[in-house]
Amino acid sequence: MNRVRLLVLNAALGPLDYRVPDGMDVKPGSVVLAPLGPRQISGIVWEADRLPATTVPDERLRPLLGLLPVPAIRAELRRLVEWTADYYCAPLAAVARMVLSSGGALKGGATTTEYRLTGKGPDRMTPQREQALARLAGEQATIRELAGIAGVSEGVLRGLVSQGVLEAVEVDCDRPYPPPRPDFAEPTLNPGQQAAAARFVAAVRAAEFAPFLLDGVTGSGKTEVYFEAVAQALRMGRQVLVLVPEIALTEAFLRRFESRFGAPPVLWHSSLKSTERRRAWRAIASGTAHVVVGARSALFLPYRALGLIVVDEAHEVSFKQDEGVRYNARDVAVMRARFESLPVILASATPALESLQMASSGVYERIDLPDRYGGAQLPAIGVVDLRAQPPERGHWLAPALVDAMHERLDRGEQTLLFLNRRGYAPLTLCRHCGYRFQCPNCSAWLVEHRLSQRLACHHCGHETAPPATCPECGEPDCMVACGPGVERIADEVAQIVPAARVAIATSDTLGSPEKAAAFIAAAEAGLIDVIVGTQLVTKGFHFPDLTLVGVVDADLGLEGGDLRAAERTYQQVAQVAGRAGRGAKPGEVLIQTRHPEAPVIAALASGERDAFYEAEAQGRAQAGAPPYGRWAAIIVSSEDEAEARDAARAIGGARPDLPDVAILGPAPAPLALLRGRYRYRLLINARRSARLQDIIRQWLDPFRFPASVRIAIDIDPYSFV
Ligand code: ADP
Ligand code: ZN
């Protein structure tokens, strides 16, 4: 009897056993199709002794239906799936879904029908057809995807197909990507860069687990240096994964990659079209995708022969996923490198305290690039005390910053104003009755966006048009904006210097690769004088004429008071400061603050990074916070407030009493209502010695809540809202 155990992609089911029909060649890792009732499900054949046993007797087992036409999932990746599920207290199936993350790819080689404009006009123009023609220029995709792009129904497009306005094209789903060439345009490295690159190249050649912290100041050439490790992997025929925090800012990176290697890398992120996703997945599995640049989900793809992982801007919090499987891609990347025996490079100018600690304890090898490339100097950093020299009433830019901006404009140089707040104002209220616009689904204010004339919730996406009269008291024209967002700062700049060409750079304005490319081109061509941007512009960009950076409100990040607030502020300000003076002209940074005496501001002004990190580390050690102790959160939510509260209290009432674990809560979460669900939190602080995950599993295991109650476990949380 040939019996196998499947990990199926449905977390509610658990492992299932099947019979292997004669002649079917199945081994651990095989991706198969199996019957489930009247349905068919896909799953991965797993080592039976590594999954909980099932009780179905042999004679009642149903046979597998077939092998899916994809390579078997390798043992190294199976171990990573197990490790991730275990460490983050997540269902195995949920992690396995991130491996088999393209439904299309599992169906095997095929062609698909895409459509594109022929250039012929329709018999009769309608507004919808006109819109479709305008938006579909240069696009080729399935009807469904084109309908999304054009913002019209599929019916409208089918009408255009029958008139010959759109034509069908058969495309091979898996046409190969052009290979990057390691010797295409080799840079001349300076001695410091050479030494670093040599170390990485040797590690790639050795093909052993080797974690590195590449700690180099902004503009030191970290990218150039790890590109040499990429080149070495390519020479050996191995694949490379470069994880990036935000796919929105990869545009500049892609161009650099292409000029170094003569071909673009393969992209992986959540908004790929299904056909692109399928093509990328299959190329990754077959080994013909040589270099993959991706968001965190690229980490779980089934690379055939990985040779190197790079985590760029490794300190970024966006590597932590805050829903579903709540994993930290930076940490899982290191585990993947370990299971696959690979070097992994964490690159950053402002490493996370956790990474620095791993380096100083000798677990990671630290490679330093202390100087900017080409003799460029790090910018001078000044502090503007907003208490001593406040901006004019109703304004947000202090005189010193305004003067410095004028100077840059006179010299034809660029200014970047950084404020990590999208929209015009974070709060809108009625001047007459004090009514505040709040999201109906979240405990959050609605943010006014003047450019798009919406009030929007940044948590759930809820949007409304700003009403003409107050919904509470009926007073017309009574809405006042409170506090600044980037749009308001841009208005202020336009008021102060009407001639300045101002660009707003946020995910609202640079949301697509085309828009990002257009912005970069305009900034490089000197068509922008002042950039007003969110954290989206704090990294990756290199504008030689940008010589002034103004941090509009350095205190903003410190308000939340979570354990990484100071570190995050340091990182953000240091990164955005790193945009200044990257060319021949020296840069200047002005930090506006109401707390010039705060240690993080003082450290930024004096450039004493090490002292700041040391003080932070001490504070964390005293608080038992990471990396010296560990945190975990349990978030209980329900659409019914009483149900959420009762469930949270029941869990709190059963809390284990252990010497190396402290449990806080339950308490309403700071974001007590999110997307229509009421939320309660318990926070667990444990010594490093505690078996945190086992404790939580044992604690929660006896509970059976109705499906309307959701229990989320967040190990090593980054978000405390
Ligand atoms: P980082 O990632 O450390 O901020 P980058 O890799 O972006 O630094 O390098 C900063 C700038 O210096 C880039 O424009 C890069 O092309 C240039 N640069 C760095 N090293 C070299 C080199 N060896 N040869 C030519 N240009 C270099
Ligand atoms: Zn909301």
Give the separation between CA 131 and CA 545, rounded to whole angstroms.
Answer: 39
> 376-421+484-617 falls under which CATH superfamily?
P-loop containing nucleotide triphosphate hydrolases (3.40.50.300)
Place of tokens 């900017």: 372
Minimum-distance ligand to the CA of 674? 2
**Same fold for the pair 191-374 and 376-421+484-617:** yes
CA of 581 to the centre of ligand 1 (A): 13
The reported pLDDT for the residue numbered 433 is 93
Specify the residue with its C-alpha closest to ligand 1, atom 23: 189
CA of 220 to the centre of ligand 1 (A): 6
CA of 204 to the centre of ligand 1 (A): 21
Specify the residue with its C-alpha closest to ligand 1, atom 6: 221
The reported pLDDT for the residue numbered 538 is 80
Q: Give the SS3 label for residue 398.
A: coil
Question: Cβ–Cβ contacts within 10 Å for residue 65, how many?
Answer: 16
Minimum-distance ligand to the CA of 455? 2
Please give all residues whose CB falls under 5 A of ion ligand 2, grouped by chain where several chains appear: 439, 441-442, 457, 459-460, 462
CA of 438 to the centre of ligand 2 (A): 8
Q: Give the DSSP letter of residue 15.
A: -
- Whether 218 is in the pocket of ligand 1, judged by its Cβ within 6 Å, is yes
Judging by DSSP bridges, how do beta strands 463-464 and 454-456 pair with one another? antiparallel
Closest ligand 1 atom, residue 190 Cα: 23
The reported pLDDT for the residue numbered 148 is 87
Minimum-distance ligand to the CA of 543? 1
CA distances from 204 to 212, 237, 446 (A): 12, 11, 49
CB 675 within 8 A of CB 441: yes
- Whether 224 is in the pocket of ligand 1, judged by its Cβ within 6 Å, is yes
CA of 507 to the centre of ligand 2 (A): 18
Express each pLDDT in 140-194 by its tens digit.
888 988 998 898 999 999 999 999 999 999 887 778 899 999 999 999 999 999 9
Written as six digits, the tokens of 334 are 């290191």
Burial (CB count <10 Å: 0-12, 13-18, 19+), residue 622: exposed
Specify the residue with its C-alpha closest to ligand 1, atom 10: 219
Q: Give the DSSP letter of residue 484.
A: -
Q: Which of 218, 215, 227, 152 is nearest to 186 (CA)?
A: 227
- Whether 223 is in the pocket of ligand 1, judged by its Cβ within 6 Å, is yes
Give the separation between CA 288 and CA 258, rounded to whole angstroms.
Answer: 17
Give the separation between CA 30 and CA 45, rounded to whole angstroms.
Answer: 5
Minimum-distance ligand to the CA of 540? 1
The separation between the first and the last C-alpha atoms of the chain, rounded to the nearest angstrom, is 53
Choosing from 188, 220, 224, 228 the residue with most ligand 1 atoms within 8 A of its CB, the one to mutate for a pocket test is 224
Q: Which of 599, 591, 610 is nearest to 566 (CA)?
A: 599
Minimum-distance ligand to the CA of 677? 2
Choosing from 189, 214, 223, 253 the residue with most ligand 1 atoms within 8 A of its CB, the one to mutate for a pocket test is 223
The reported pLDDT for the residue numbered 85 is 97
Q: Does residue 272 come out as left (phi exceeding 0), alpha (psi in the -120 to 50 range) or beta?
A: beta
- Whether 189 is in the pocket of ligand 1, judged by its Cβ within 6 Å, is yes
CA of 516 to the centre of ligand 1 (A): 20
The reported pLDDT for the residue numbered 66 is 95
Place of tokens 């489930």: 36
Which residues lie across from 118 on neighbouring strands? none
- Whether 192 is in the pocket of ligand 1, judged by its Cβ within 6 Å, is no
Q: Which CATH number fits domain 629-715: 2.30.30.40, 3.30.499.10, 3.30.70.600, 3.40.50.150?
A: 3.30.70.600
Minimum-distance ligand to the CA of 440? 2
CA of 721 to the centre of ligand 2 (A): 14
Specify the residue with its C-alpha closest to ligand 1, atom 2: 222
Residue ranges for the chain with pLDDT beneath 50: none
CB 187 within 8 A of CB 260: yes
CA of 8 to the centre of ligand 1 (A): 46
- Whether 221 is in the pocket of ligand 1, judged by its Cβ within 6 Å, is yes
- Whether 226 is in the pocket of ligand 1, judged by its Cβ within 6 Å, is no
Express each pLDDT in 75-122 by its tens digit.
999 999 999 999 999 999 999 999 999 888 888 777 778 899 998 989
So what's the architecture of 3-100 in CATH? 3-Layer(aba) Sandwich (3.40)
Give the separation between CA 152 and CA 141, rounded to whole angstroms.
Answer: 14
Minimum-distance ligand to the CA of 458? 2
Express each pLDDT in 254-269 by its tens digit.
889 999 999 999 999 9
So what's the architecture of 191-374 in CATH? 3-Layer(aba) Sandwich (3.40)
The reported pLDDT for the residue numbered 720 is 84
- Whether 219 is in the pocket of ligand 1, judged by its Cβ within 6 Å, is yes
**Total number of residues shown for the chain:** 721
Which residues lie across from 369 on neighbouring strands? 216
CA of 443 to the centre of ligand 2 (A): 7
CA of 1 to the centre of ligand 1 (A): 61
CB 556 within 8 A of CB 420: yes
Give the torsion through C-alpha atoms of 663, 668, 674, 678, to 10 deg: 110
Give the separation between CA 641 and CA 664, rounded to whole angstroms.
Answer: 20
- Supply φ then ψ for residue 694, to 5 degrees: -65, -40
What residue ranges do the domains of the chain occupy?
3-100, 112-172, 191-374, 376-421+484-617, 629-715
CB 211 within 8 A of CB 365: yes
Place of tokens 């599992």: 106
Q: Which CATH number fits domain 112-172: 1.10.10, 3.10.50, 1.10.3300, 3.30.70?
A: 1.10.10
CB 717 within 8 A of CB 626: no
CA of 498 to the centre of ligand 1 (A): 35
The DSSP secondary structure of 93-132, one letter per residue, reads HHHHHHHS--TGGGG-S-EEEEEEE-SPPPSS--HHHHHH
- Whether 526 is in the pocket of ligand 1, judged by its Cβ within 6 Å, is no
SS (H, E, C) 203-242: HHHHCCCEEEEEEECCCCCHHHHHHHHHHHHHHCCCEEEE
- Whether 594 is in the pocket of ligand 1, judged by its Cβ within 6 Å, is no
- Whether 544 is in the pocket of ligand 1, judged by its Cβ within 6 Å, is no
Give the separation between CA 166 and CA 159, rounded to whole angstroms.
Answer: 9
The reported pLDDT for the residue numbered 249 is 60
- Whether 583 is in the pocket of ligand 1, judged by its Cβ within 6 Å, is no
Closest ligand 1 atom, residue 218 Cα: 4
CB 717 within 8 A of CB 633: yes
- Whether 675 is in the pocket of ligand 1, judged by its Cβ within 6 Å, is no
Specify the residue with its C-alpha closest to ligand 1, atom 14: 542
